[in-house]
């Protein structure tokens, strides 16, 4: 079955889908994106993702290219054309095509691309193994709360993690505090069972998985602190994990080559993963993706 992508009003075979060379996303990384998990045909926490998308666009003064209802219709159509049941929806919006000039163009039309990809949740074996992470200096800009397509520092750090045999890099600010992973939020559980993650300021991307999990944390009565933590504190933690739309809740079993806790996924981590999976299974905060009528 051929993959289909949506590009600026058209549904195209994935291999033929392309944007203009003067798209400002290509020239300047002048755009934003969203990744929405799709579970059993449902877009998980869709409204929260659209809220964040609108916020990212607003912060960069890019006009919302179309209303929410139109976006929802197109996303369902892309899912339908690709027979997507489990995986994720990728949306990208840029300031549009204009002759190369740093200043905003007077009249560019924002560009919209949507694709989907099949993906299965992590296997039991993968979950039981957990993932190793390394720590690296955070060399990104000061507005990491905007989900910008400018991901070069994230790519460099992820590649360095990969070359070190790790799965993620936790980036560390100038004061020695962990900000987040290259594509995930970072969490620890201290020796006295306090769950800690950095607060959602301009320093990190406020993950939708993070937001959904914090609701579950409150419901489960877990002791929780929203504050920065150092690498040292993470190394001495009882448990650690990462969250994202593609990883859900994934245990971290090693940081910089040192085992966390007993080197196995922590109890609270797995309990929170179960709570998150129950959330997406229950479709709570999610909306059924009723296939839209076929549009050209
Ligand atoms: N931080 C960064 C830098 C990310 O790229 C992501 C994934 N988009 C996250 C955190 C996690 O966000 P979410 O839970 O919305 O996938």
Q: What is the pLDDT of residues 229-277, one digit of tens each?
A: 999 999 999 999 999 999 999 999 999 999 999 999 999 999 999 999 9
Class of domain 124-281: alpha beta
Residues in the chain: 296
State the pairing for strand pair 195-197/42-43. unpaired
pLDDT value at 130 more than 80 = yes
CB neighbours of 281 closer than 8 A, spacing ≥ 6? 39, 40
Distances (CA, A) of 178 to 85, 160, 238: 35, 17, 16
- As given in the structure block, the two tokens for residue 144 are 């990491």
> Domain boundaries in the chain?
4-119, 124-281
Distance 115 CA to ligand 1 centre (A): 18
Which DSSP helix (H) or strand (E) runs through 48? Answer: helix 46-59
How far, in Å, CA of 107 to CA of 121, rounded? Answer: 42
pLDDT digits over 70-127, tens only?
A: 999 999 999 999 999 999 999 999 999 999 999 999 988 999 999 999 999 899 999 9
Measuring from atom 8 of ligand 1, which residue has the nearest CA?
183
Ligand 1: which atom is nearest the Cα of residue 182?
3
Question: Does 4-119 match 124-281 in CATH topology?
Answer: no
For ligand 1, say whether the CB of 208 is within 6 Å of any of its atoms: yes
For ligand 1, say whether the CB of 183 is within 6 Å of any of its atoms: yes
Query: In 3D, which of 76, 69, 24 has the Cα closest to residue 50?
Result: 69
Ligand 1: which atom is nearest the Cα of residue 210?
14
Measuring from atom 3 of ligand 1, which residue has the nearest CA?
183
Instruction: CATH number for 4-119: choose from 3.40.30.10, 3.40.50.2000, 3.30.470.10, 3.40.50.620.
Output: 3.30.470.10
Measuring from atom 9 of ligand 1, which residue has the nearest CA?
184
Ligand 1: which atom is nearest the Cα of residue 246?
16
pLDDT of residue 296: 31
- pLDDT > 70: what percent of the chain? 95
Catalytic residues: 147
Show the DSSP H helices in the chain as ranges.
24-28, 46-59, 68-81, 124-129, 152-163, 208-220, 231-235, 267-282
């Amino acid at each position: 079955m051929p993959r289909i992508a949506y590009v600026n009003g058209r549904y195209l075979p994935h291999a033929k889908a392309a944007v203009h060379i003067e798209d400002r996303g290509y020239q300047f990384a002048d755009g934003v994106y969203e990744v929405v998990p799709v579970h059993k045909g449902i877009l998980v926490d869709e409204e929260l993702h659209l809220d964040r998308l609108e916020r990212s666009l607003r912060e960069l003064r890019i006009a919302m290219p179309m209303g929410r209802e139109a976006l929802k219709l197109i996303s369902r159509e892309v899912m339908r054309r690709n027979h997507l049941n489990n995986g994720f929806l990728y949306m990208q919006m840029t300031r549009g095509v204009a002759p190369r000039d740093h200043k905003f163009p007077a009249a560019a039309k924002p560009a919209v691309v949507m694709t989907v990809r099949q993906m299965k949740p992590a296997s039991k074996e993968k979950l039981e193994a957990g993932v190793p992470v390394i720590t690296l200096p955070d060399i990104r800009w000061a507005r990491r709360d905007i989900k910008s397509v400018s991901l070069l520092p994230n790519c460099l750090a992820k590649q360095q993690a990969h070359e070190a045999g790790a799965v993620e890099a936790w980036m560390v600010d100038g004061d020695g505090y962990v900000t987040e992973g290259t594509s995930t939020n970072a969490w620890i559980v201290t020796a006295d069972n306090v769950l800690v993650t950095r607060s959602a300021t301009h320093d990190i991307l406020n993950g939708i998985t993070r937001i959904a999990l914090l609701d579950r944390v409150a419901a489960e009565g877990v002791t929780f602190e929203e504050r920065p933590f150092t690498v040292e504190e993470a190394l001495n933690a009882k448990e650690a994990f990462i969250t994202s739309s593609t990883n859900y809740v994934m245990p971290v079993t090693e940081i910089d080559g040192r085992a966390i806790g007993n080197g196995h996924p922590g109890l609270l981590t797995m309990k929170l993963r179960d709570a998150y999976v129950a959330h997406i299974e229950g479709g709570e905060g999610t909306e059924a993706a009723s296939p839209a009528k076929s549009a050209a």
